Structure 1
Amino acid sequence: MSFSLLFLFLFLLLITSTSSTPRSYADLLLARSIHDKPHISSLASAPRSFVPIAPGRQLLQIPNYVIRAQIGTPPQSFLLAIDTSNDAAWIPCTSCVGCPSSNPSFSPSHSTTFRAIPCGSSQCSQVPNPACPTGQTSCAFNMSYGGSSFQAGLVQDSLTLASDVVTSYTFGCLQQVTGSSVPPQGLLGLGRGPLSFLSQTKNLYGSVFSYCLPSFRSVNFTGTLRLGPKGQPQKIKTTPLLTNPRRPSLYYVNMVGIRVGKKVLPIPASSFAFDPNTGGGTIIDAGTMFTMLVVPAYTAVRDEFRRRVKVPVAPPLGGFDTCYNTTITAPTITFMFDGGITVTLPEENSMIRSSFGSITCLAMAAQPATGVNSVLNVIANMQQQNHRVLFDIPNSRVGFAREPCTA
């Protein structure tokens, strides 16, 4: 599940400087505002893999970050989006209705290790909305992603990342897609659920991974997804990882405050409260592009930001309500987490600039006032870029460290 329902494709048109028929910045924004092993003692010998990461905007015209992966035997190559708020993986398969014909699709008949998952299997009970169509013995499921929905058969085959081969990896073979927000070459779910990559490779990587996301404007695979406890930063600052039974796949942390410049904002503690009953709190999400804050928190950030800039705001554009049509000096924004951990955003992580004209906007927004996500703060991928973010499940911690990975 991606939380960027409002902003899913917004960024594409903010930064499409290569477009042959540029339109106004406002038109572009509005047109695309269509919108979530074992014990520790044995882990020292676990393998490590460094998988290159690139932004998907130039390669696939999507707001996700992507990795190179291979499926099947012999291997078939794909660029898979990564998303920490999803569990299931899925790949477009041959004869998929609604999948982009310009992108590669997986051919099960050309893989000697492919097999369908039968109805009644444990994996079939772990996917969202499982189904066994009349006359068929293999499991299928359907789910939504952004503003789209899809149907998929549940299957297994080998998955290769870097030099590691994961045999019998369970994923969805896309059969029908409605809408345009499903990543065209597939997705790898890095959530915490039973069919996520983390769970399926627990014996291999010990439920530990980290990533560094390069600037979303980059065209290179200069970021890295590090898998396994070996090779992770040793002195990284961490905050406790929380588990919310209402939304168990998500990576919750306890954000305790936000600072603009040197001022700690007077945000009610309830805006950050971790609440298993409502799903409220703060998550770290690589599948959403722009940070979304609950209304009181965002209002406080916006008002103090505007006060410090001291320049009249331009009319709102798309979902952004704090924009300027002149050069400004943006104040720093700092997220404060339990344990005294702070993450201060450089300007390129808090401001988004138009390729057309001189419009600059604060790259954050308020969550809807009502609904399931109204109580959820989402720290998104643009705000994480050029940081190493560590997810260490055995030690229940999330870490942050500045790490330039943009070339």
Structure 2
Amino acid sequence: MACLYGLTHLLLLHLTLFPPTHALSPANSLIFALKTQATPHGLLPRASPTDKLPFYHNVTLTISLAVGSPPQRVTMVLDTGSELSWLHCKRSPDLNSVFDPASSRTYSPVPCSSLTCLTRTRDLPVPASCDPNKLCHTAISYADASSIEGNLASETISVGSSSRAGFLFGCMDSGQSSNKEEDSKTTGLMGMNRGSLSFVTQMGFSKFSYCISGFDSSGILLFGEGRDASFTWLKTLNYTPLVEMSIPLPYFDRGAYTVQLEGIKVSDKLLALPKSVFVPDHTGAGQTMIDSGTQFTFLLGPVYAALKNEFTRQTEGVLRALEDPNFVFEGAMDTCFLIDPNQRGLPGLPRVSLIFRGAEMSVSDERLLYRVPSATRGSDMVYCFTFGNSDLLGLEAFVIGHHHQQNKWMEFDLVKSRVGLADVRCDIASQWLGITS
């Protein structure tokens, strides 16, 4: 599983979802308004009988929604890099937010003898097993060495005007996390990949999209087709096909949103790399995944080294390098610079473009450098290049994080097996769609 849950800071999106007004209809579109703000823990939007709801982000990508009967509010990390959704179900001094299955009349644990346990969990990284109570036991591990385990269960879950009874999820009662502070703020994780147990698959949505603002406090999350006339501007989307793998390979995640990276440019200079370095090998290692559960972008060693060298060359005389071989941010980002706090804004930087089959993702300006919290050298602040080295994390993959998806409309089409992207001012898109924050 590639998602770096707990290792990197995620974008905080507080989305409040409420019980249905009618049955689930995959053809319907659910539109949600985003707003960027530093939201203290516990201050979530109040209920509203509408499908256009406030959506807030700050540090981690989370959704607040109703689960169970009567509904309990839970907060889940939205993660396109994971399949099985799960909730913390055991109270502890370290957790402020948990789901209480004993308080829900629609909660039902899955016995380990059921076909659901025996067949539907086979594609998970660790297939389910039988616990001492003869319940379906599931465990999940992440790339940052954190893990969580508990029982598979079914419950009623609601998203705006859409509802699904018998939704399968993990009711987790133990785990080891690298980020206890983050765990205390969330009830669980919402898996959004292409697997049969993922949230988007179980809810029956054929398509979902999001636009994360990089300018101000507005943005959009959309479930469904979005065939309204006001969406005509989405004709500017460029699509890249999802890479399919028919046979299981040890290092290839078949549920991920895998695209084919074909090259990288710095300004107009294409890195001198053979296309073969971007193609998964016979073990499946080297796939390129679009992952909302990871903040930054990580590249395999040889590609990262080439990008680092070219970016450093083109910014010589513009940026002052941090001459500290022992400084590595987030365990994988070792290209860092010193910035005078008195200067106005960052200096002009060369654009970095990721070239996919049929589409291109350009990263520029402030999204190329990230200020490391509390890190200084004398009076200078420390900023690091927002691309990291996968090899330092032990990852056998390229991972495109959400930091580089800001101010881009990202569309995930499960029917046509493709990802669409376009440069969009998310605040303006919100106005086009009639959403006010």
CA distance in 2, matches of 1:309, 1:272: 25
CA distance in 1, matches of 2:235, 2:104: 40
Aligned to 2:95: 101
- Checking the alignment, whether the CA contact within 8 Å between 2:297 and 2:386 is kept in structure 1 is yes
Aligned to 1:335: 354
CA distance in 1, matches of 2:37, 2:71: 22
**CA distance 1:70–1:370, change in 2 (3 Å):** closer
1:167 counterpart (152, 165, 168): 165
Following superposition, the deviation at residue 387 of structure 1 comes to 1.2
The CA deviation string for residues 132-163 of structure 1, in whole angstroms up to 9 with x for no partner, is: 212x2321211213332111111111111223
State the aligned residue count: 363
**CA distance 1:59–1:368, change in 2 (3 Å):** farther
Aligned to 2:52: none
SS of residue in 1 equivalent to 2:391: coil
For 1:141-156, what aligned pairs fall within 5 Å after superposition? 141-145=138-142, 146-156=144-154
Residue segments in structure 2 that go unaligned for 5+ positions in a row:
12-24, 42-56, 340-345, 375-379, 428-436
- Checking the alignment, whether the CA contact within 8 Å between 1:140 and 1:152 is kept in structure 2 is yes
The CA deviation string for residues 60-116 of structure 1, in whole angstroms up to 9 with x for no partner, is: 6995411221101121112211111110001111x3457x332x2111122121111
For 1:303-342, what aligned pairs fall within 5 Å after superposition? 303-311=309-317, 312-314=320-322, 315=324, 316-318=327-329, 319-326=332-339, 327-339=346-358, 341-342=359-360
Following superposition, the deviation at residue 4 of structure 1 comes to 3.0
1:190 counterpart (186, 189, 192): 192
Q: Match for 2:194: what amino acid?
A: R
2:403 counterpart (364, 382, 386): 382
CA distance in 2, matches of 1:59, 1:275: 45
**CA distance 1:3–1:137, change in 2 (3 Å):** closer
Aligned to 2:49: none
Q: Match for 1:151: what amino acid?
A: E
1:403 counterpart (413, 424, 431): 424
Aligned to 1:236: 237
Aligned to 2:270: 264
Aligned to 1:49: 30
Matched, 1:300 2:306: yes
Matched, 1:212 2:173: no
**CA distance 1:392–1:114, change in 2 (3 Å):** same
CA distance in 2, matches of 1:197, 1:349: 29
2:128 counterpart (122, 127, 130): 130
**CA distance 1:366–1:180, change in 2 (3 Å):** closer
Q: Match for 2:321: what amino acid?
A: V
1:393 counterpart (386, 411, 414): 414
The CA deviation string for residues 218-268 of structure 1, in whole angstroms up to 9 with x for no partner, is: 8x6x44331112346344111111123432111111111111011111122
CA distance in 2, matches of 1:177, 1:330: 42
- Checking the alignment, whether the CA contact within 8 Å between 2:265 and 2:271 is kept in structure 1 is yes
CA distance in 1, matches of 2:387, 2:298: 6
SS of residue in 2 equivalent to 1:200: helix
Identity %: 28
Q: Match for 1:313: what amino acid?
A: A
Q: TM-score, normalised by structure 1?
A: 0.80
- Checking the alignment, whether the CA contact within 8 Å between 2:68 and 2:156 is kept in structure 1 is yes
The CA deviation string for residues 6-40 of structure 1, in whole angstroms up to 9 with x for no partner, is: x814689xxxxxxxxxxxxxxxxxxxxxxxxxxxx
Matched, 1:83 2:79: yes
- Checking the alignment, whether the CA contact within 8 Å between 1:91 and 1:186 is kept in structure 2 is yes
The CA deviation string for residues 373-396 of structure 1, in whole angstroms up to 9 with x for no partner, is: 33x211111111221111112112
CA distance in 1, matches of 2:72, 2:382: 42
- Checking the alignment, whether the CA contact within 8 Å between 2:84 and 2:191 is kept in structure 1 is yes
**CA distance 1:302–1:309, change in 2 (3 Å):** same
SS of residue in 2 equivalent to 1:123: helix
CA distance in 2, matches of 1:251, 1:197: 14
CA distance in 2, matches of 1:266, 1:289: 27
CA distance in 2, matches of 1:265, 1:378: 18
CA distance in 2, matches of 1:209, 1:190: 10
SS of residue in 1 equivalent to 2:283: coil
The CA deviation string for residues 143-198 of structure 1, in whole angstroms up to 9 with x for no partner, is: 21333211111111111122322222111111112224474321110011111112
CA distance in 2, matches of 1:186, 1:89: 8
- Checking the alignment, whether the CA contact within 8 Å between 1:56 and 1:64 is kept in structure 2 is no
- Checking the alignment, whether the CA contact within 8 Å between 1:255 and 1:272 is kept in structure 2 is yes
CA distance in 1, matches of 2:34, 2:109: 30
- Checking the alignment, whether the CA contact within 8 Å between 1:156 and 1:171 is kept in structure 2 is yes
CA distance in 1, matches of 2:157, 2:284: 36
Q: TM-score, normalised by structure 2?
A: 0.75
**CA distance 1:293–1:105, change in 2 (3 Å):** same
Q: Match for 2:419: what amino acid?
A: V
CA distance in 2, matches of 1:313, 1:304: 14
SS of residue in 2 equivalent to 1:199: helix
Following superposition, the deviation at residue 291 of structure 1 comes to 0.5
